[in-house]
Structure 1
């Protein structure tokens, strides 16, 4: 059974999707054993506590240097014997040092079909604002491994979501969450824990059952 850490900063809707999937028995081979927040008042912490999951708070501003923060983060992950790190709305920078330490063991969900509307500056509502401004007819979500390039790691899963007339960024954000993010993230986590994701030449492939 692999130990999963979910890193959060806000409301924790993707965390809740993972918790619900775990309760339904949809995450095989792994268990959420830590929720770590970059903000002391994140509502995601209440979700974790309600589910009986241990929590930690690690504030970047508590450290004068990135290296000190990295050491503390890695120490916590090591203490909980974490095998997989899931970024679920985590707004603190993950350094290349941490990424290399957990190579192909950090998963992120992005609210667009990478390589569209991704990279530096594309997060939260900004992604959906850009999609609507461009006039795309289809958007979606992507779950990918994290590497040194922002939103540039191997893609694990993607799901398309239709853009509808009258959509606002908020409406589109909610539809992408409900139809794509909350479905893809638990599935990707389960595939990882089952050992079914293989990464070669910068691409992720999924082994059949």
Structure 2
């Protein structure tokens, strides 16, 4: 069984997609062992508790320095003994020592087709605002491994979503979630749980 720890900052819609997919068998060979949030008011924590998943808040605000926070975060992560860490809308920079320790065992979902609209400053609605401003006709989402850069790790899965005339950033964000994020994130976890993703250099080999 793949032991999965999810890290979230907000509402936890991607977390819910993972929970539902484990329950309905879309994700196999997987156990959700915990949820960590940096935000004590994150609805994701409620979602976890309602589904019997251990959940805790570890916030940078509660520690005197980022170094201490990083140490405590890594300690909490290690306690779950995860095989895979899933960043599902986690808006805190992952400590370098954690990236090193869990190399090719941390994945992230980003609401664009990387390398478009990604990197520092591109998160949440900002991604969709930028896409609409640029006038692109196709957007989407990407699941990738996390490395030392921002949205630069090996890509696992991508799914395209059409932009419609009259889209607002909020409408486009919802469509990308429904048509891409909530589908490819659970699928990527299932592939990893069943040994179907290999990392070779900066690329992944995915066998369906």
TM-score range, shorter chain: over 0.9
Equivalent residue number for residue 93 of structure 2: 93
Listed one character per residue, the Cα deviations across residues 16-72 of structure 1 (whole Å, up to 9, x for unaligned) are 000110110111121111011110111111111111101111011122233222221
Equivalent residue number for residue 29 of structure 1: 29
Listed one character per residue, the Cα deviations across residues 90-111 of structure 1 (whole Å, up to 9, x for unaligned) are 1111122111111011100000
Q: Give the secondary-structure state (helix, strand or coil) at the position aligned to 1:48.
A: helix
Cα distance in 1 for residues equivalent to 2:131 and 2:141: 12
Equivalent residue number for residue 62 of structure 2: 62
Cα distance in 1 for residues equivalent to 2:137 and 2:41: 37
- What pairs up with 1:167-186 in 2 under 5 angstroms? 167-186=167-186
Cα distance in 2 for residues equivalent to 1:26 and 1:100: 30
- CA RMSD, Structure 1 to Structure 2 (Å): 0.9
Cα distance in 1 for residues equivalent to 2:65 and 2:30: 33
TM-score (norm 2): 0.97
Q: Give the secondary-structure state (helix, strand or coil) at the position aligned to 1:3.
A: strand
Runs of 4+ in 1 over 6 A off after TM superposition: none
TM-score (norm 1): 0.97
Matched length = 208
Equivalent residue number for residue 38 of structure 2: 38
Cα distance in 1 for residues equivalent to 2:18 and 2:121: 26
The runs of 5 or more residues in structure 1 that have no matched partner are none
Listed one character per residue, the Cα deviations across residues 156-182 of structure 1 (whole Å, up to 9, x for unaligned) are 000000000000000000000000000
Equivalent residue number for residue 105 of structure 1: 105
Equivalent residue number for residue 138 of structure 1: 138
Cα distance in 1 for residues equivalent to 2:121 and 2:15: 22
Cα distance in 2 for residues equivalent to 1:107 and 1:169: 25
Cα distance in 2 for residues equivalent to 1:99 and 1:69: 15
- What pairs up with 1:69-84 in 2 under 5 angstroms? 69-84=69-84
Cα distance in 2 for residues equivalent to 1:191 and 1:7: 19
Listed one character per residue, the Cα deviations across residues 123-173 of structure 1 (whole Å, up to 9, x for unaligned) are 000000000000000000000000011000000000000000000000000
